[in-house]
Chain A
């Protein structure tokens, strides 16, 4: 805490003590006035038979009361004046202290801002460095991982290509076999159909076209061929 603030609080406490003392004095004064007033009333009462005296006493009391009131008012006015003066002083002091404190606060704030900026700049610089390092590390690590990944992918791709090629070859062989079998089957069916058709056509065409004499000639011709092929050799 600065010296100005200590003085400020000292002044406030002094003013408070003075005001308290003034109030106590006023209270004591009012009490004494009242006591004297009562005493006078008693004296007046003791002379009750004497109305003039009473009136005089009454007048006197009134005067004393007025005087007391006037005094009290004077004291109050003085006290008020003192309080006002002190308030003005206090306000001035307060203003002065406030301004000083504001200046000090501004200065402190500026210092703090500077320090904060410095720290912030340091942090920023360090963070940038850290980020750069991190970035470099990440770059290095990532490049390494990418290389590994590429290598794995390459190997997997080659392996997959080989497997695929083998599978395609196998499938091709199977498909070729199936196709060959299917082709053979279809050819067989076609052949069967061809002969079936041929038989029918031959029956229709040759069966009617070959005359009985030609048929006989064909039979004799068959016998001739059989003879040439030694079918009848065992007969001789």
Chain B
């Protein structure tokens, strides 16, 4: 078995936000629980207990890398490896004024991949008072690039002038 990051590539690159990550992490836990703890089900049956989309991604990855689904130990290693990698993602926190559509999230994430590379997830929060732009938090740094802030700066400078 290829115990490389590449076997998870498709799964990992499909993640856009921390919400996606949490959901995947939760489903992996469920899957592991179904296979090894509570029900002792087969892998194929256990896949049905999670979302179709996630199940497909995991199944594709396993098939692509030739992992025997009957070998529960291999499955466990695969899933544990995936969970460990999920902890390696870096988070870019964005506070924006709109509730972003899937398309918008995709475009933002694409910009991140293009400019920063893989391994980043978006943690998006909505605050309509910001009017536009975004507040960006990353690795302990914080910067406000919102329209609200721009307006405040404009009026502050006007006030100082007055």
Residue-wise, chain A 196-236 has the 8 Å CB interface mask toward B (1 for contact) of: 00110011001100101011101111110111010110111
- Residues on A with C-beta less than 8 A from B90 are 235
| Inter-subunit contact B115/A202 (CB<8 Å) | no
- Residues on B with C-beta less than 8 A from A195 are 152, 155
Q: Which 4 A-B pairs have the closest CB atoms?
A: A222-B145, A222-B134, A218-B132, A218-B133
**Is B129 among interface residues, defined by CB-CB distance under 8 A?**
yes
Quick one: which of A215, A227, A232, A235 contacts B97, CB cutoff 8 A?
A215
Main secondary structure of the interface of A (DSSP, over half): helix
- Residues on A with C-beta less than 8 A from B145 are 221-222, 225-226
- Residues on A with C-beta less than 8 A from B36 are none
| Inter-subunit contact B97/A223 (CB<8 Å) | no
A234 CA to B141 CA, complexed, in Å: 10
Quick one: which of A187, A202, A219 contacts B148, CB cutoff 8 A?
A202
Residues of B within 8 A of A (CB): 90, 92, 94, 96-98, 100-101, 104, 107-108, 111-112, 115-117, 120, 128-129, 131-134, 136, 138-139, 141, 143, 145-148, 151-152, 155, 159
| Inter-subunit contact A223/B131 (CB<8 Å) | no
A206 to chain B minimum Cβ distance, whole angstroms, is 5
| Inter-subunit contact A210/B96 (CB<8 Å) | no
A232 to chain B minimum Cβ distance, whole angstroms, is 6
**Is A88 among interface residues, defined by CB-CB distance under 8 A?**
no
**Contacts A194-B155, A207-B128, A236-B116 known; A231 to B136 CB distance under 8 Å?**
yes
- Residues on B with C-beta less than 8 A from A210 are 131-132, 147
A18 CA to B98 CA, complexed, in Å: 167
B110 to chain A minimum Cβ distance, whole angstroms, is 10
**Contacts A199-B148, A207-B97, A227-B115 known; A235 to B139 CB distance under 8 Å?**
yes
A78 CA to B104 CA, complexed, in Å: 182
**Contacts A212-B98, A235-B116 known; A218 to B139 CB distance under 8 Å?**
no
CB-nearest residue of chain A to B119: A235
Quick one: which of A187, A191, A214, A231 contacts B138, CB cutoff 8 A?
A231
A122 CA to B27 CA, complexed, in Å: 143
**CB contact list, A173-209 vs B, under 8 A:** 187, 191, 194-195, 198-199, 202-203, 206-207
A178 CA to B155 CA, complexed, in Å: 26
A219 CA to B99 CA, complexed, in Å: 12
Quick one: which of A199, A223, A236 contacts B134, CB cutoff 8 A?
A223
- Residues on B with C-beta less than 8 A from A231 are 136, 138, 141, 143
| Inter-subunit contact A226/B108 (CB<8 Å) | no
| Inter-subunit contact B151/A202 (CB<8 Å) | yes
| Inter-subunit contact B138/A226 (CB<8 Å) | yes
| Inter-subunit contact B131/A235 (CB<8 Å) | no
- Residues on A with C-beta less than 8 A from B152 are 195
